[in-house]
Chain A
């Protein structure tokens, strides 16, 4: 069975500081990995996804994530936080083959302080 662990249910950073949201996965087969963001009162929006084409994936709004197979990690980063980045972030994994469902982590709430 595959699973996703997001370390830290709540992360607080200052505006302009580095954002680092951690995600570790377990999967018996090469996974496909996703980061979604949920802004208040909105649905989940895809930030970026890893599909084995490149280990460093760039997404929207200046976010990027690096797939590290040896560490089974897919951490999300942004060099400089903006107030508008305050939201809840979800890491998700999807196994290859015919398994279409996403398995999510518990989410990390990002707070950005002025």
Chain B
């Protein structure tokens, strides 16, 4: 069974440009999460999808970030326009259900560097 995959693995862009990150969850997982780790800080929650619906987007930093999950399969996270402070590692995770003890399976992350 394939794990959570993320694309690209690395992205280097200039301030003001747009970047789109993609996450493919494990097949059949209705729940998809985005997290971010800024250098030197802890991994922080961004948002949670249940199928194609946003369940919780309380962690999204500002309106420059837009997440979508059309059709309830893969998800994209767009940053437009990118700022220096957006640099970090963006992780995606998925789980089959939303039970509190459910394991979230993480992808390898996308390393974003904004210059």
Contacts and interface: CB of A to CB of B under 8 A. Distances in A.
B43 to A, nearest CB: 4
Q: Which of A4, A97, A104 has the most CB of B within 10 A?
A: A104
Given A36-B106, A49-B101, A101-B59, A44 B45 contact: no
Contacts of A97: 100
Contact of B107 (A32, A41, A43): A43
Contacts of A36: 106
A104 B43 contact: yes
Contacts of B59: 101
Contacts of B45: 101-103
Contacts of B1: none
Given A100-B31, A100-B56, A100-B98, A105 B104 contact: no
Contacts of B55: 100
* Range for the number of chain A residues in contact with chain B: 20 to 34
Interface string B86-115: 000001010000101101111111000000
* Range for the number of chain B residues in contact with chain A: 20 to 34
A42 B108 contact: yes
B37 to A, nearest CB: 8
A107 B44 CA distance: 12
A95 interface: yes
A44 B41 contact: no
B43 A43 contact: no
